[in-house]
């Protein structure tokens, strides 16, 4: 698996005040930590980092972090964002160690045309990613879920999914990934209050007309 290069600058000053000054200067504060090493504070160019995020799926990408000539392979473990503004506040990198597996979340991608959908069914996706343990250099960008044979009323579970060699899925093997539900039946339109009132009133009108007719006939006999 190829790595994505990213440049960073080391820093010795830390704290909220320093972080605010860095962001005001167009840089993002961050830190890199890992097995058997002290955390090291760094900063990234904001514009370059945001452009990079548009091109890669950072959760499953291994980065070659270059800190002033010292390079380390790492994963981005967290990107802290401002709750209201579109602003990155901080980035955490985890340095990778050769031969040491990592735990990451990998998105699921549905492939194939479900026979249930062809019959009018609806796919209900329960899970959107798998948590896996894998060698950092073999992290898949996605895990495909073939739904071609999924019929109405049937489900696909974690144990049904074929994953790449070397990938260990940590989710419960009995967990439901997706189901194909039957199409919902349309309910007949219920009568409105006005329609009910009209239906009740109509016999009264007919009854009244009949009474008037009988009264008329009686009057004619008297005459």
* Residue 120 shares a structural domain with residue 160: yes
Can you give the pLDDT at residue 48? 95
pLDDT at 98: 78
Domain identity same for 111 and 92: no
Q: Tell me which residue has tokens 């452009």.
A: 51
The enclosing domain of 59 has a CATH number of 2.40.240.10
> Does a structural domain hold residue 72?
yes
Domain finish residue from 99, 121, 136? 99
* Closest CA relative to residue 69, chosen from 19, 149, 5: 5
Residue 201 has pLDDT above 80, yes or no: no
CATH number of the domain to which 134 belongs: 2.170.120.20
Q: Identify the pLDDT of residue 97.
A: 86
- Is the domain of 30 the same as that of 45? yes
DSSP string, 156-203: EEGGG----TT-EE-S-TTSEEEEEEPPPPPPPPPPPHHHHHHHHHHH
Q: Domain count of the chain?
A: 2
User: At residue 53, does pLDDT exceed 50?
Assistant: yes
pLDDT of 222 higher than 80: no
CB atoms within 10 A of CB 65: 24
What is this structure's pTM? 0.72
For the stretch 67-92, pLDDT in tens is 999 999 999 999 999 998 889 999 99
- Going by C-beta distance under 8 Å and a sequence separation of 6 or more, which residues neighbour residue 30? 8, 41, 42, 43, 44, 90, 91, 92, 93
What does the block give as tokens for 123?
């796919």
Split at pLDDT 50, 70, 90, the class of 137 is confident
Residue 144 lies in a domain: yes
Same-domain pairing of 83 and 125: no
Which domain covers residue 87, as residue numbers? 4-99
Q: Bridge-partner residues for 178, per DSSP?
A: 125, 156
208 CB-side CA count, 13 A: 5
Domain assignment present for residue 192? The answer is no
**pLDDT tens by residue, 168-187:** 999 999 999 999 999 877 65
153 and 88 in a single domain? The answer is: no
Q: What is the pLDDT of residue 194?
A: 58
The domain boundary residue, chosen from 35, 69, 99 = 99
**Which single residue is written with the structure tokens 């605010």?**
20
Q: Do 32 and 71 belong together in one domain?
A: yes
pLDDT tens digits, one per residue of 19-28: 999 999 999 9
Are 8 and 95 in the same domain?
yes
pLDDT at 14: 85
Whether 36 maps to a domain, the answer reads: yes
Q: What is the average per-residue pLDDT within 202-216?
A: 50
- Contact between 39 and 31 (Cβ < 8 Å): yes
- Residue 219 — pLDDT band, cuts 50, 70, 90? very low
């Amino acid at each position: 698996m190829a790595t994505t290069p990213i440049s960073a600058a080391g820093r010795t000053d830390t704290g909220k005040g320093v972080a605010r000054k860095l962001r005001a200067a167009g840089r993002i504060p961050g830190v890199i930590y890992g097995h058997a090493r002290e955390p090291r504070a760094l900063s990234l160019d904001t514009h370059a980092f945001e452009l990079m995020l548009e091109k890669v799926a950072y959760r499953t990408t291994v980065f070659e972090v270059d800190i002033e000539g010292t390079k380390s392979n790492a994963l981005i473990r967290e990107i802290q964002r401002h709750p209201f503004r579109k602003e990155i506040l901080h980035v955490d990198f985890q340095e990778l160690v050769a031969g040491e597996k990592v735990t990451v979340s990998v998105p699921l991608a549905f492939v194939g045309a479900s026979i249930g959908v062809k019959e009018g069914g609806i796919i209900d996706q329960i899970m959107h990613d798998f948590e896996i343990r894998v060698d950092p250099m073999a992290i898949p960008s996605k895990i495909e879920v073939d739904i071609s044979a999924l019929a109405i009323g049937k489900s696909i579970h974690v144990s049904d999914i074929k994953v790449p060699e070397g990938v260990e899925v940590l989710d419960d093997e009995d967990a439901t990934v997706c189901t194909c539900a039957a199409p919902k039946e349309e309910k007949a339109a219920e009568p409105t209050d006005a329609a009910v009132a009209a239906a009740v009133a109509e016999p009264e009108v007919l009854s009244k007309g009949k009474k008037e007719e009988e009264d008329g006939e009686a009057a004619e006999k008297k005459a």
